[in-house]
Structure 1
Amino acid sequence: MKLIPISLPPQTVSLGEKEIFLRFQADRRHPDWVVLHSLDLAEHVRLQRSEADFVVLIPGHGIVVVEVKGHALVRRDAHTGQWCLGQDPPRSRSPFRQASDAMFAVRERLVRHHHRLGALQFESVVVFPFADFRVDHDSSEWHHWQVVDRQELNARPLADCLVHALHCAQRDAVERRGRALPRSMSAEDCEEARSVLRPQIGEAPLDRTRTQRREEELAQWTGDLTTLLDAVWSNDRLLLRGGPGTGKTGLLIEAARRAFLEDGSPPLVLCFNRLLATSLQGALGECAQVSTLNALVSQLDFAAGARGLAARRASGEFRPAQTLIIDEAQDVMHPDACEVLNLCVEGGLQAGRVLAALDVDHQNLRCEATSLSTQTLLSSYVSVDLWNNRRNLPRISATAELYSGFRPWRHTLRADDGVRARTHYGARLDMIRILGETLTALHSEGFGPQDIVILSGCRPPDSLAASPEIQELRLIPYDVPSTNQVRYTSIHAFKGLEAPAVILTDLPHGPDPQRLMLVGLTRSTARVHLLVDRPEPFRQQYLRSAT
């Protein structure tokens, strides 16, 4: 299938949309299909502005508009008729009406371009990837073929569901309503519809060949990791060990989704970094309860320590999770925390269902060493060692090894694009100009503001990006949501995350600059620029082993 855009925008927060996007992306049976994601409908038939989650152009068949509801629970109040989707406030507007309105808006747009496109078969479908649709199927508001729920998705491919919906809609139109047989969609119709609808998306002028190759590589390695998880999933206690970029967090996300489907309740997912927790919650939605360790302690009021929590658990005031998932375990599982975590999962850390990922050797930025008791505990877990770098391009991973002195990987799996990491030297005042030039260069390559992050070795308020002299660049802190401004934060705060383009500033810094450099460089999936305003300390710190 041809997906437009070829990758999910960073601002996509719907877990349901991500799930359906990945299903389309994994489809290899329909190379001539075109899937438009998040199609802006400025001329919506009922709303001034709306969007269609997916518009699928199917040569030989027709056009399907797909509305995705990624909630774990779906019901309609029998008395009020209102829809209750997960934890969202009740709404009177049916998701089927929402999908139908979007379909008619798409049809109107195409017919206005050329009336012959109106003779194609159109249909709308609502997909509930994480819920079983138990609302009565005989409602006059929708047809049974317009519902694709979790059970249906498990029974057959999504593509088959969409073709089935078009066939049923066509038969209904001809046999029951006496309409003329819709015209089959030709390859020319598909290309024309794509050319009409695609400008509605507002894509940036990216180098699509390069970007598509990058996304296909990342998708391939993600699939390989999923296969690996299949092989070890039967073990209740798993330990994922690997350097940066080896896929630990991606595996934990997949594990959380599986645990939710199997347990019927959200697993507890813990990490250290607040930004990582926000990202994980966005990826998992209602499938997991995500928290940092500090936020969990604050939320549950552990002032009385583990004994107090044990008393609350015994009284039923606190219920442990059936599955505990820990990212950044080297930062989370210190002895005091383990005493509390032991009570947060049924069976405890030694007998419960626990999955942890850690990198003690290369990303332990906060603890001097993992305690002996924690090491003993984790030694009883089934270990999965991840040795291949799946995130970084070869020249970036080579730069990370050169500057840090570490060798975290056996292989870097991605293909070389011929672009090296760039290091810029200059005085502090020069850095303002160099940063502006670097941003301009990245924009000219097609990287948008949402693709770029500036990471510092020091606290964000003390960094180059926060200096008053640089206000004309309109940089903002990373925790401020934005799609049209470049954001900045510290390497510490960004650990566990990634971005297409990374700019590193304010190095060397901190008690362990080698690990800091490794973490910073390996955040990038495409481009790295280092801005060095203290050349001599930089060379002494990072290049001594290379001379």
Structure 2
Amino acid sequence: MSIMIPRVYDQSTPSPGEKNFFERISNDNKTTDWVILHSLNIAHHKTNIMGEIDFLVIIPKVGVLAVEIKAHRYISVDCGKWYMGRNDQHGTVRSPFVQVNQSMFSLKDYIRENYSPLQNIPIFPLVIFTHTEFSFKSIEWNSNQYVSCKEYRSQPISEVLLKRFKKIKKEYLTKSSTKWLQSNQERPNKKEVEKLVELLRPSLESPSEAVSLGDEINIDLVKFTAEQFGALDMMEDNSRLIFNGAAGTGKTFIAIESAIRAATKGYKVLFVCMNKLLSEMLRLAIDNENIKVTTLHALMRKYDPSPAEDTSQYWETDLPQVCYLNMLEQIKEDDFFDLLIMDEAQDIIGNELWLDCLDLLLTDGLSNGKWHIFGDLSYQSIYNHNMSKLDLLNNIKNRNVNNSIVTLRKNCRNVETSARLSMTLANIRSPYQSYLRNNKSIINSKIRVFVSEEEQLNILISIINKCFDAGFIESDIIILSKVAESKCISFKYQDKLSAKPYKSDVKGLRFTSIHKFKGLEAPIIILTDFDEIESDNSKTLLFTGASRATDSVHYIFHKNIEKYLTAQR
């Protein structure tokens, strides 16, 4: 079986031909070492803003085929216009051969510009008509450039493509202008295949224009690493996975993609997190009727009509107990979910009562159902101070031992110098194996010390102004406090700062607590209200807050911390 990238096929794609080709080539036992990229977006298309190759078939020691699939049962060509289907009244002058050729040449240009050693790998275009016999003749194409329905269906797809490769190469080698092929016939080799996949594997869409430095940083961040693609592929083969990684390793990014992929297959997905602000961001990022995004507390409140109490006892014990009993009576068949996704799971899985409630909503429960758990089980457990990583894992393993743990160690968010300063201050060993971003911060992370409240406010104002001078805008800056939002310095002086409490749909300079901002990120993070950083809780909060920054972190510490800072140096 071939290596399909992505591993899943988007069920919403209307083309029966693409679906049939995907199923046939992914199940052909003679394509074991083949790699197939499908729906490959070509962002630097020669004639269109965005082009697409239906399937890019990479065959080791043979070459690469850019495949265009046409599934129409009726095709007509009249006076240079192509009519695809009996209901096509307008036609198009752009033939399937022109489409695939333009995309192929754009792809070749991209390869040459980004990794020239691969530029002479044989890449050829091929149009496959999966539902009709194509018999039109023209000087614009020849019989080696297409496969008709009968040939496509009468033999294994591996044989169809290998035979076509043989014919194409034979034709090319007779031409004086294609002598380059003579010395490149057995390419790509195994290492070249790996490099080609690394180069071409499609990234998530990102904005084409940046309006601020923060937007430019976001464009740099919105792409999958090879480690993340591997994690996504594992989901296709494992029903129960725990993804453990420190801040910035892309857990939420993968969680969102896993939810979307499951939803495209028709799964009903429950996406749960602890943080209200994170859930709001997730709802904006995910717009799919098959995916329900909610905080755990909001989910449980649905099953408890009594007034909420603002106490730990209520949220951690009383509410889940009431919720569980009411669920047993009220849950209907339509309330069950096929897949459970937990983000920032270290805040959830430490409470057995909460897990009991989630268990009731998942088809086959936590013991035998499908779930993907994402969390930082070592460094960001700010709600379960007394539970170790092993304790948290055991809470899950006690319900099902047949699960796998995936460790994420590539930092995709932080600039390395910024991350290392935060780890030094928090006195923790680096959980990262490498960093995706090799560039320097636009503004260097820095520690400032204050004595009085007035001095802390003045330092805060000066940092904000420095960020403006460097080109950042108000919405790029988030002020995070060690204490509750209503007790922080930014809340007290919000009018003087022209700042507002953080809301995802509100722009401008914003502030909130570190607890509330968990799971989110911003270019500039300013940490305030730290009177000590020696306790374990303060270190965890410091690292959690600092790890939100995609550019730099600005620490405002009380003078009492100077002795600790001196000792750390």
- Return the alpha-carbon distance in structure 1 between the equivalents of residues 478 and 510 of structure 2: 5
Match of 1:281 in 2: 283
Task: Report deviation, 1:511.
Answer: 6.4
Q: Deviations along 1:185-219, whole A, 9 cap, x unmatched?
A: xxxxxxxxxxxxxxxx9964x46xx964x445423
2:431 to 405, 408, 424: 408
Verify the 8 A CA contact 2:367 2:399 in the aligned structure 1: yes
Q: Partner of 1:514 in structure 2?
A: 539
> Are the aligned partners of 1:226 and 1:254 in contact in 2 as well (CA < 8 Å)?
no
Tell me which residue corresponds to 2:229. 226
- Whether the 8 Å CA contact 1:423–1:530 is kept in 2: the answer is yes
Alignment partners' CA distance in 2, 1:493 and 1:24: 38
Amino acid at match of 1:366: Y
Q: CA separation in 2, counterparts of 1:411 and 1:531?
A: 28
Secondary structure of the equivalent of 2:462? helix
Q: Aligned partners of 1:309 and 1:282: how far apart in 2?
A: 28
What letter is aligned with 1:450?
S
CA contact (8 A) 2:45 2:102 kept: no
Q: TM-score, normalised by structure 1?
A: 0.60
In structure 1, what is the equivalent of residue 444 of structure 2? 420
Q: Unpaired segments of 5 or more residues in structure 2?
A: 1-37, 52-84, 93-98, 105-207, 305-319
Specify the alignment match of 1:128 in structure 2.
none
Partner Cα distance (1:391, 1:291) in 2: 24
Distance in 2, matches of 1:157 and 1:424, equals 59
- Where do 1:317-356 residues align within 5 Å? 319-333=335-349, 334-356=351-373
Aligned residue number for residue 18 of structure 1 = none
Matched residue, 1:27: 42
Q: Are residue 396 (structure 1) and residue 411 (structure 2) matched?
A: no
TM-score, normalised to structure 2's length?
A: 0.58
Once the 2 structures are TM-superposed, how far is the Cα of residue 265 of structure 1 from its aligned partner? 4.4
Whole-Å separation in 1 of the counterparts to 2:46 and 2:473 = 28
Out of 477, 499, 502, which is 1:478 matched to? Answer: 502
CA distance in 1 between partners of 2:365 and 2:328 (Å):
12
Aligned to 1:237: 240
Q: What is the root-mean-square deviation in Å for CA atoms of aligned residues?
A: 3.6
Does structure 2 retain, via aligned residues, the 8 Å contact 1:243–1:408? Answer: yes
Where in structure 1 are there 5+ consecutive unaligned residues?
1-22, 36-55, 57-135, 146-154, 161-200
Q: Equivalent residue for 2:274?
A: 272
Q: Per-residue deviation at 1:465?
A: 0.7
What is the rounded CA distance, in whole Å, between the counterparts of 1:495 and 1:399 in structure 2?
19
C-alpha change, 1:249 and 1:159, in structure 2 (3 Å) is farther
Tell me the secondary structure at the aligned position of residue 515 of structure 2.
Answer: helix
Cα distance 1:289–1:326, how it changes in 2: closer, same or farther (>3 A)? same
Give the whole-Å Cα distance in 1 for the aligned partners of 2:379 and 2:298.
Answer: 25
One-letter amino acid matched to 1:310? L
Retained in 1: the 8 A contact 2:271–2:340?
yes
Give CA deviations for 1:377-425 in whole Å, capped at 9, x if unaligned.
Answer: 4653111101121110011111111011112212223103165311122
Taking the aligned partners of 1:157 and 1:282, their CA distance within structure 2 comes to 37
Retained in 1: the 8 A contact 2:281–2:504? Answer: no
Question: Larger deviation: 491-500 or 378-387?
Answer: 378-387
Residues in 2 aligned to 1:404 and 1:258: alpha-carbon distance in whole angstroms: 37
Distance, in Å, in 1 between the alignment partners of 2:487 and 2:364 is 45
Q: Is the partner of 2:406 in helix, strand or coil?
A: strand
How far apart, in 2, do the equivalents of 1:247 and 1:378 lie?
A: 25
Post-superposition offset of 1:266:
3.7
C-alpha distance in 1, partners of 2:397/2:368? 16
1: CA distance between counterparts of 2:268 and 2:233?
A: 20
Question: For residues 408 and 416 of structure 2, what CA distance do their matches in structure 1 show?
Answer: 17
Match of 2:408 in 1: 386
Larger of the two Rg values belongs to structure? 2
1:487 matched to 2:510: yes
Corresponding residue of 2:109: none
1:306 maps onto 2:309 in alignment: no
Q: Report Cα offsets for 1:299-329 as digits up to 9, x if no partner.
A: 133664434322333xx26621011101121
Q: What's the offset of the Cα at 1:29?
A: 4.2
1:291 Cα shift? Answer: 0.7
Return the alpha-carbon distance in structure 1 between the equivalents of residues 329 and 526 of structure 2. Answer: 49
Contact 2:227–2:408 at 8 Å: present in 1 too? no
Structure 1 residues 321 and 223 mapped into 2: Cα distance closer, same or farther (>3 Å)? same
Aligned to 1:458: 483
The residue identity in structure 2 corresponding to 1:240 is: F
Q: Is the 8 A contact 1:342 1:349 kept in 2?
A: yes
Task: Tell me, yes or no, if the aligned pair for 1:222 and 1:250 is still in contact at 8 Å.
Answer: no
Q: Hey, what's the Cα distance between the residues in 2 that align with 1:508 and 1:412?
A: 31
Identity within the alignment, %: 25
Instruction: State the 1:24 CA deviation.
Output: 12
* Amino acid paired to 2:42: D
- SS of the residue 2:241 aligns to: strand
Would the aligned equivalents of 2:523 and 2:549 in 1 still touch at CA under 8 Å? Answer: yes
